[in-house]
Amino acid sequence: MSSQNHTKIRGKSDGSTPVSEDQLPPTGPLSGPSNPQWRRERLLRIGSKHSSVDESTSLQHNLHSQRSYGALPRPDTKSKLNTRRGILSLQGINIPRLAQSEASSPVSHSPVSFRDSFSHFRSRPVSAYDTSNFPAADLPGEVDTDVKTNGIRVWYSSFTSIDWLHDSIKDSARQARLRRRKSRRGKLKRQIDRSVGWVIVTIVGFLTAIVAFLIVRGERWLFDLKEGYCKDSWYKSKPFCCPVADEDSQYQLRADEDSCSAWATWAEVFGPTVDGSKWLMLESEMVEYIAWTTVAITLALVSCFLTLYLTASTSFITRKDSGVLSSDFAQGSENQKVDSSPIAQPKRKVIYYAAGSGIPEVKTILSGFVIHGYLGGRTLFTKSVGLALSVASGLSLGKEGPLVHIASCVGNIVSRYFGKYERNEAKRREILSAACAAGVAVAFGAPIGGVLFSMEEVSYFFPAKVMWRRRVACKQYQKHRLTYVCSFFCAMVAAVTLKFLDPFGSGKLVLFQVTYDRDWHMYELVFFLFLGVFGGVWGAFFSKLNIRWTRSVRNGTWIKHHPMVEVFLVTLVTALLCFVNPYTRMGGTELVYNLFAECRAGSKNTHGGLCVLNPPEQAVPVITAIATALIVKGGLTIVTFGIKLPAGIFIPSLGVGACAGRIMGILVQWMQYSHPDAPMFRSCNGDLSCVIPGLYAMVGAAATLSGVTRTTVSLAVIMFELTDTLTYAVPVMLAVLVAKTVADALEPKGIYDLVIDIAQLPYLDPKHDYVWVDHHMSDVTDRDVEVICTDRVNDVKGLRDKLQKLVDAGNDDSGFPVVREVGEGMRLVGYIGANELEHALTIVADCPDQHIMFHSTDPYGHVPTTSEVSAASAGESGSIADGDGDIDPFDFSYYMDRAPITVQSNSPLELVQQLFTKLGSRYVVVTDTEGLYEGVIDKKTWLTFLGQLDEKQH
């Protein structure tokens, strides 16, 4: 049959005003995403008795009566969508312009969206996800065979998994097209393509360092604002207001306020007023206490306010999101619902993108999960400003972990301006891995440690075991070597830029970067071992207590619905407890610096009284003060980590370990001072200063952080870079390994993995080993999933109903096996995802009774018969590549994966685990030994099964 018999969808031009880009309907398989609310309207209208919808219809009334799903609704402006040539004609239908989201919200308030505040700015167009697979210069018949077999994908919706295999095939086809060009222009394009990654990581490293610099400077000024202000320049922090010549005594001013006349404390400002007032009845010294507490609470509440009202997950709705993945998709008129009532769906949990550390979510995103907005510009702004405010408030939290999230935001935003990474989620995660390395580099001044942290902790396809097995790691490294080199280069650029900016004015990348003049001794290994045990015990019990607090108090009481009240109470208690003790009053990084510091003979800097020159007289009060700081900091960290503002765990963990290590070091110093001739101290040769308490603090800090996060290699390297030497490699490595071993014995999971569990993030841990025991493939195979049978009639309305059932069943990250009947069984033809089916149905929504085709032959050369496709009232002419040839909009084979990964029903479960972790499969189709279809295992189903299996084994 000739192509003239194809059913085409033609647009008409009636001379009316063109519609905006985000309101354009999809024109074909390779059209960009349209407004998700518009798509939802289209799907709900399939099979409706009403041929038109306006503001007075019941459907429109139902939609506007719902609570907002986050973004404030925009005023309705009617737009005619049939005014542009080449798009789907909507004859007789006027669709009002709706808000981007109208689904019911699980919270009582509606967070304000930045996008609504700047709605007069036009967002840049979003192209089709697979446009690069079908360049305009190529004819449909010349498209790569692998691409045709794998099918077309549309944009991934939020809270779904990416298809690693599809993105890998797409990138391979793109590189093949570049290699086919033998001309000079083609060679130039290849060189440009190779250099794009280097350009991106350079920009990411540079911008990450600038953001980190601004955060550090802002945090220092806000923190010192609790004590007073600079008379000469109000915008200067205390170290810059009162500079000192000796770098080593940079923070000695905090112990001697009178040495700086340019700094005015609040007691000096309000003291005379208070002293002269009879009714206030306050001493001038109390002014400083009240000012400290007031400013701290104000900073924390502002940070919490920004986090809650700017980064709620319900306020991030983009054109890439699905129009049907909501529990109220079927809430239209009665004739729009399927026969069976929808299954009640739980409301989507609200998460706040700027809250917490961000590392667990970044790990989940790098594993292949999509969270639109989590790495966006609004989150970057809120996280950066909120982080400076929260750290300055004096809460027991740090900024190092959130800097990894901030760097990932920078990497995501920059990479989106380059099509190579914008239209390939798997490739974009290479940039995100490099950005994570840059985040650690600016946080600790450790570019090498940043690269190792990215490999060990956050990157998905580089298991930690590989670093210990050189032969096994060889091929893996060859495959990902460019990613790691780019990560190293990105971290180097970030570190060099931050060094140039000099945020502390001392030439240091981080405040607690220290050097030691003496070596360690063999007898000290015993004490380092004890510190490793302490770090493991503290890390395990901290993780248990923090998660128990989160489940029982934070999520189990009235605090769950009043996060700002929780922030207020925690900040109030922190301010009241920490003001009295000089070590708890210090900032986290300043405390760690003083605990790490070596006491040098003749130096005026006693580091806040931590330098013990005469142990019998000075040791007891110093140890008591440090122990008090340890208990207060440790207890506050347990209740602080997890509140709704930007908060990291690195600095609090380092602080607790450094306190324990400093106490241990002072005790050993006291022993050596009291018994200098003991055999254990013979290597000191009578030197009463051979014990370095600061070294014990550093080892204890490394051990504690390892016990909390379970990092090993990267943490040890970070410590090496902080001390600028490998002299103390053995003590640090010993303590870190002992801490991890002890912590794993007491609590198998680190704090980040526990946060992933409590947040129910779909992270598939490639490092975890499962014991399958008596479980078989039949225990996890879903045999009740809806299928599309090619031998039966599949019309538009029927497929819409199948999609609705899939969504109502909670399988929003799944799809439909396409099968054909063979005797008493079914043979697999292909697989089509829910997003792809939604996109395809939106295009043909005006023809609810039209038959849809699925076939395993090549759709690019297939010519449908008149029995397969009937005439439609509207049509369009074009090709899949917007070039020559015709495309049938009712042939959904373009979207179908005709070679899905299959396993036999008698396969071991470990094979399925390797398919999901090593190949990054999104789904696996199960067949019997005869090759007949049995069921499907998607990634979320597999994660649920593993969770249940893990609970039984523990």
Is residue 281 helix, strand or coil?
A: coil
Q: Which pLDDT value is given to residue 386?
A: 96
CB 480 within 8 A of CB 462: yes
User: One-letter amino acid identity for 202?
Assistant: T
User: Which segment of 331-335, 496-500, 790-794 scores lowest on mean pLDDT?
Assistant: 331-335
Q: Counting runs of H as helices and runs of E as strands, what totals does the chain give?
A: 30, 12
Per-residue pLDDT tens for 852-862?
988 776 555 54
Per-residue pLDDT tens for 232-254?
888 888 888 887 655 454 444 34
Indicate if the pLDDT at residue 621 is higher than 70. Answer: yes
Indicate if the pLDDT at residue 553 is higher than 70. Answer: yes
Burial class (CB within 10 angstroms; exposed 0-12, middle 13-18, buried 19+) of 677: exposed
Q: How crowded is residue 580: how many other Cβ atoms within 10 Å of its Cβ? A: 11
Indicate if the pLDDT at residue 182 is higher than 50. Answer: yes
Q: Which ranges in 759-896 belong to alpha helices (H)?
A: 796-808, 834-843
DSSP 110-178: -PPPHHHHTTTSPPPP---TTGGGS-TTS-GGGS-HHHHHH----PPPTTEE--HHHHHHHHHHHHHHH
Contacts of 558 (CB under 8 A, 6+ apart): none
Which DSSP state fits 604?
A: S
Q: Rounded mean pLDDT of 704-720?
A: 93
CA 51/CA 45 separation, integer angstroms: 8
Q: Rounded mean pLDDT of 734-743?
A: 96
In whole numbers, what is the pLDDT of the chain averaged over residues? 78
Q: Which pLDDT value is given to residue 614?
A: 83
C-alpha R_g of the chain? 31
Per-residue pLDDT tens for 22-61?
555 666 677 777 778 888 888 888 876 554 433 333 233 3
The tokens describing 760, both together, are: 């129910």
Q: Using 50, 70 and 90 to split pLDDT, how confident is the model at 872?
A: very low
CA 252/CA 257 separation, integer angstroms: 9
φ, ψ dihedrals at 651, nearest 5°: -65, -45
Closest among 247, 251, 228, 231 to 239, alpha carbons compared: 251
DSSP 721-758: HHHT-STTHHHHHHHHHHHHHHHHHH-SS-HHHHHHHH
Q: Rounded mean pLDDT of 358-380?
A: 93
User: Which segment of 564-573, 580-589, 603-612, 820-829 scores lowest on mean pLDDT?
Assistant: 603-612
Q: Which pLDDT value is given to residue 13?
A: 37
Per-residue pLDDT tens for 509-535?
777 778 787 888 889 999 999 999 999
Closest among 783, 848, 768 to 819, alpha carbons compared: 783
If you count them, how many residues does the chain have?
A: 954
Q: Which pLDDT value is given to residue 259?
A: 63
Indicate if the pLDDT at residue 325 is higher than 70. Answer: no
CB 178 within 8 A of CB 190: yes
CB 423 within 8 A of CB 129: yes
- Indicate the angle between helix axes 693-709 and 751-758, nearest 10 degrees: 30
Per-residue pLDDT tens for 657-669?
999 999 999 999 9
Percent of the chain residues past pLDDT 90, beyond the cut: 38
Q: Which pLDDT value is given to residue 528?
A: 95
Indicate if the pLDDT at residue 684 is higher than 90. Answer: no
Q: Which pLDDT value is given to residue 153?
A: 85
Per-residue pLDDT tens for 54-91?
333 323 333 333 333 223 233 333 333 233 223 232 22
Establish how many alpha carbons lie within 13 A of residue 842's alpha carbon, considering only the half-sphere containing its beta carbon. Answer: 28
Indicate if the pLDDT at residue 301 is higher than 80. Answer: yes
Indicate if the pLDDT at residue 939 is higher than 70. Answer: yes
